[in-house]
Structure 1
Amino acid sequence: MEKDKIDDIWTNQKVGTPFPTNVVKAPGETNKYVALWYRHGKPIMGRAWNDSGVMQCTFVLEDKVFTGSDVGGVIQLLLLEPPNKKKSFHYDWVSFKKAKSLTSEGKYEMVRCDYNSPVYWAEHGFLGCINTQLQIAHFVDNDSKILTTNKTEDLQVLCKISGSRESADKAAALNKMTNVNDWEDFNWGSYWPINKNVMSIPKQLGVPDQYVALWYRHGKPIMGRAWPKNGKIDASFVDANREFTGPTVGSLQLLIALPPTTVGYDYVWMNYTLAMDYRDKDFVPVHLSYVVPALVPVGTKLLLGQVNMKTECATVAIDGKVTKLEGGPVKSISVLCRREMAETMLI
């Protein structure tokens, strides 16, 4: 990597400001991003997340948790370069054991400042910091408690790997299809991504131009809909029987439908009752914390909202008015599922 070494791109970000786009995430996560903070000149890696459209973060330093107002000022977030820019390397998460071995051979280069690197503990879903010299990792759980481990070999660290991401993805597709939905970060009011295949409802159903969107409020994922308004992104979400739309949304995520022959699955809208019976089937609802995108009837229209599979409650809003369905009426609505493709279709 030294010969073609390219510096990482870190953007300055103030706590509580709109979350930027194109930030590096933990593997398989939708709301855990790689963050860097300097305290008294000492770098420390941690976790940033999108809360109601703005950036929040947490770090561990000297056996203390620093978050939100404790951090103050500015931190840094690791950016991916624009997808249309050719790169000689790409980021990926690999086991610390493998990273140490391949780094010594010059094939990989761990992302780090001083001796600190971003690290992901897949067993618990935690993103934190590992000291590569002391080989000890620190994390903050959802209750703001510190978790520390020196069993680091199976933890995943972020590396820069020679070659483009496209080449790596094609190689992975030949071996194993991805099991992660592609949620990409965008901001309310920014230009609609005309070069992206954003997942929409079937054109023959409901109101046109409804696209699957995801938003986080107080750490809770909320499914809703987005649409292009005068060429820019607008969106609507429901939480606590209230519609959130307009500038208050801040940043959000859109579901990108990748080519089925590349990722090994496609998306289908299925009846709720059928979709819930997905064990030992070739499909699974597109869900986060029991919440699934759903087509909810409002008068004669179908609007894209969400249904909670645990409470069997569906919600959607338009023009400030929230529609809520519970129990029996939920069983007849359609929800978004991901259907695995047969291997023969991938040849």
Structure 2
Amino acid sequence: MYVALWYKFGKPIHGRAWNNNGNVECSFPYSKVELTGARDLGGQIQILTCSEQDPVEQFKKSGFWYEWRPYKDRENDQLLQLVRCGQSTPVLMPTKDGNTFLGYIDMGKDVANVGYKGKNETLAGGEIQNLLVLFRNIKAPPTGIKIYEDTWIDLKYRDPFPTAKNPIPGGGRKLKNDDGSETYSYVALWYKHGEPVFGRAYPDPAGKTLASFGWNGQENAGAELGSMQMIVIPQPENLGFEYKWMSYKEVKGGAGAFKPLHVGDCVPCVLKTAKGAELLGNLHMKMEKATAGFGGKDSAVVGPAVMNFLVLCRNGHK
């Protein structure tokens, strides 16, 4: 989810946007309903971006960094600047069924709003004080702090490949091609019709990002991808956990310290083809189906064979 802004009769309202199948989709709460799509919104939206996703690098470039903190902190710290437009500030708010989505706080009324399942869910009064809102922090970010969450970066097809940010290679090594050669490919995430799909990203000879994803009998590659995400590894002194590639049969069920790094039911997977090639792709754990884009379609393996495929795992869950 990404912070988005829209205007209704000149009034700014924050909501959320996301990438689905290379297209921008969005949700905004208004009155008692959730508004989505061109028919509801009838115009353009804006999406908040930052020049760097690393707080230290962002601070070096801009003199501030973005930080999610409780709404009540706006009154206590002179070094915090609340991200707002008019009386609207973006907020992370839990819904009645336990999900958390981006919406906005109407600061004039002290009411938090989030669009969900066609409705506008609200919280009011003292309950909103501990909700996380977005600040610009003009104090230098702390260094040497251990990171216990996965670090994702956003990029577009043919953006410069983020080699310096330490993306995760499939299998932790070069993978075998069907012609006997070996190359690196890196874990990437994309959404197809709202569903997560892991695949592979890699640089072309000019250092631009290419990627491939396979699902539902198709390979998706090229400009149709729009934007995607890649997972990167922080500096060793900051990393509070460990990544490891393990066979799916070792970690199925999640009893050990290392558990599959999943988004929904999907986890990055190194698929082996009948010819012995290794393709970085996606394992749908409930379906026990591994897929990877190749040659215009997905190379799919279903059933017991996926138990021996490598999947990306991590420890240090809190």
- TM-score computed with the length of structure 2 as normaliser: 0.87
Structure 1 runs, 4 residues or longer, greater than 3 Å off: 82-85
Question: Quick one: distance in 1 between partners of 2:139 and 2:20?
Answer: 34
Q: Which residue of the partner structure matches residue 93 of structure 1?
A: 68
SS in 1 for 2:160: coil
Stretches of structure 1 that go unaligned for 5 or more consecutive residues are 1-31, 342-347
Stretches of structure 2 that go unaligned for 5 or more consecutive residues are 178-182
**Offset at residue 160 of structure 1 (A):** 1.6
What pairs up with 1:167-186 in 2 under 5 angstroms?
167-170=141-144, 173=145, 177-186=146-155
What pairs up with 1:1-347 in 2 under 5 angstroms?
32-69=1-38, 70-82=40-52, 83=57, 85-97=60-72, 99-102=73-76, 105-122=77-94, 123-141=98-116, 143-150=117-124, 151-164=127-140, 167-170=141-144, 173=145, 177-201=146-170, 202-207=172-177, 208-230=183-205, 231-279=207-255, 281-298=256-273, 299-340=275-316
Worse-matched range after superposition: 200-209 or 266-275: 200-209
Compute the RMSD of aligned alpha carbons: 1.9
Contact residue 111 and residue 160 of structure 1 kept, 8 A: yes
Question: Quick one: distance in 1 between partners of 2:149 and 2:134?
Answer: 18
SS in 2 for 1:304: strand
Q: 1:61 to 1:204 in 2, by over 3 A?
A: closer
SS in 1 for 2:45: strand
Question: Quick one: distance in 2 between partners of 1:36 and 1:229?
Answer: 35
Question: Quick one: distance in 2 between partners of 1:336 and 1:244?
Answer: 22
**Offset at residue 277 of structure 1 (A):** 4.1
**Offset at residue 86 of structure 1 (A):** 2.8
Question: Quick one: distance in 2 between partners of 1:74 and 1:169?
Answer: 38
Question: Quick one: distance in 2 between partners of 1:277 and 1:271?
Answer: 12
**Offset at residue 169 of structure 1 (A):** 4.8
Worse-matched range after superposition: 196-205 or 264-273: 196-205
**Offset at residue 204 of structure 1 (A):** 4.5
- TM-score computed with the length of structure 1 as normaliser: 0.80
Paired letter, 2:37:
G
Contact residue 213 and residue 220 of structure 2 kept, 8 A: yes
Paired letter, 1:180:
E
Q: Deviations over 1:77-132 (max 9, x none)?
A: 112134464333211111223x2432xx4232211111110000255211101112
Q: Which residue of the partner structure matches residue 18 of structure 1?
A: none
In the alignment of these two chains, the number of paired residues is 298
Q: Deviations over 1:304-340 (max 9, x none)?
A: 0111111211111211132222221011111001133
Question: Quick one: distance in 1 between partners of 2:35 and 2:293?
Answer: 37
Q: Which residue of the partner structure matches residue 19 of structure 1?
A: none
SS in 1 for 2:251: helix
Question: Quick one: distance in 2 between partners of 1:194 and 1:101?
Answer: 41
Paired letter, 2:20:
D
Contact residue 209 and residue 228 of structure 1 kept, 8 A: no
